[in-house]
Amino acid sequence: MALAMAVTLPAGAGGTDVMPLPPRPDAVVAGVEKTKAIEPTRKLNGAIEGSGDVEGPPVRRLSTVQSQRLSAAPLRVLRRPGAPLRSQEPVLGPQAVRAPNGPWPVIILAAGEPVIGAGARKVEFDSSAFKADPDYEDKPYEQEAQVNIYGGKTAVDAQRPIVELGTPFYQVGPLGQGTNIVGQKNLVFGHLYVFGDWRTAVAYNDNGNGDEVAQIATRANLDVDLGLTATERLHALFQPLQEDGQFTRCEFYGDGSIDDCELEYDFEPQTAFFEGDVGAITAGITGEYNGIDLPFTGGLIPLLFQNGVWLEDAFIGGAAAIPSMNSPALDISNADVTVFGGFDKVTAPGIIDAAGNVADSNVNIYGIATFIETMEGYIEAGYAYVDGEDDLDGQDYHSATAAFTKRYGGWLSNSLRVVASFGQDEFGVNGAGGDEQNGVMLLAENSFITSKPYTLLPYANFFLGIERPVPAADATGLLKNTGINFESDALTGFPFLNDTGQNAYGGAIGIQYLFDLQQQLVFEVAASRDLNDFSSSFDKVVGDQYAAGVRYQLPLSNAWLLRADAIYAIKEDEDDAAGVRTELRFKF
**For residue range 532-563, what is the model confidence (pLDDT) as tens digits?**
877 777 788 889 999 999 999 999 999 999 99
* Local structure of 162: helix, strand or coil: coil
**Mean pLDDT, range 360-376, rounded to an integer:** 96
pLDDT at residue 156 is higher than 70: yes
Q: How confident is the model at residue 112 (pLDDT cuts 50, 70, 90)?
A: low
- Give burial (CB, 10 Å; 0-12/13-18/19+) of 149: exposed
The contacts of residue 79 (CB under 8 Å, 6+ apart) are 7, 9, 85, 88, 90, 91, 107
- pLDDT over 90 percentage in the chain: 63
Count of Cβ atoms closer than 10 Å to residue 78 Cβ: 18
In angstroms, the CA 570 to CA 566 distance is 14
E strand segments, 55-187: 59-61, 76-77, 97-98, 107-109, 163-166
In angstroms, the CA 192 to CA 181 distance is 17
**Mean pLDDT, range 413-440, rounded to an integer:** 94
pLDDT at residue 9 is higher than 60: no
**Residue ranges per domain, the chain?**
1-127
**Mean pLDDT, range 92-118, rounded to an integer:** 53
Range picked from 59-68, 97-106, 473-482 for highest mean pLDDT:
473-482
Going by the DSSP 8-state scheme, the letter that residue 12 receives in this structure is G
Q: Around 161, how many Cα atoms within 13 Å sit in the side-chain half-sphere?
A: 21
Q: What's the pLDDT score for residue 300? A: 98
Judging by DSSP bridges, how do beta strands 311-327 and 473-474 pair with one another? parallel
Q: What is the pLDDT of residues 160-187, one digit of tens each?
A: 999 999 989 888 778 788 999 999 999 9
pLDDT at residue 84 is higher than 70: no
pTM, full prediction: 0.74
Mean pLDDT of the chain: 84
Q: What's the pLDDT score for residue 121? A: 81
Q: Phi/psi at 226 (nearest 5 deg)? A: -110, 105
Judging by DSSP bridges, how do beta strands 212-229 and 332-344 pair with one another? unpaired
E strand segments, 179-310: 188-206, 212-229, 233-238, 242-243, 246-253, 260-262, 269-277, 295-305
Asked if residues 330 and 353 have their Cβ atoms less than 8 Å apart, the reply is no
**Mean pLDDT, range 203-220, rounded to an integer:** 93
**Mean pLDDT, range 52-63, rounded to an integer:** 44
Count Cβ neighbours within 10 Å for each residue of 91-106 and write b for 16 or more, e otherwise.
eebeebbbbbebeebb
Q: What angle do CA 21, 27, 33 make, to 5 degrees?
A: 145
Q: What angle do CA 317, 320, 321 make, to 5 degrees?
A: 150
pLDDT at residue 571 is higher than 50: yes
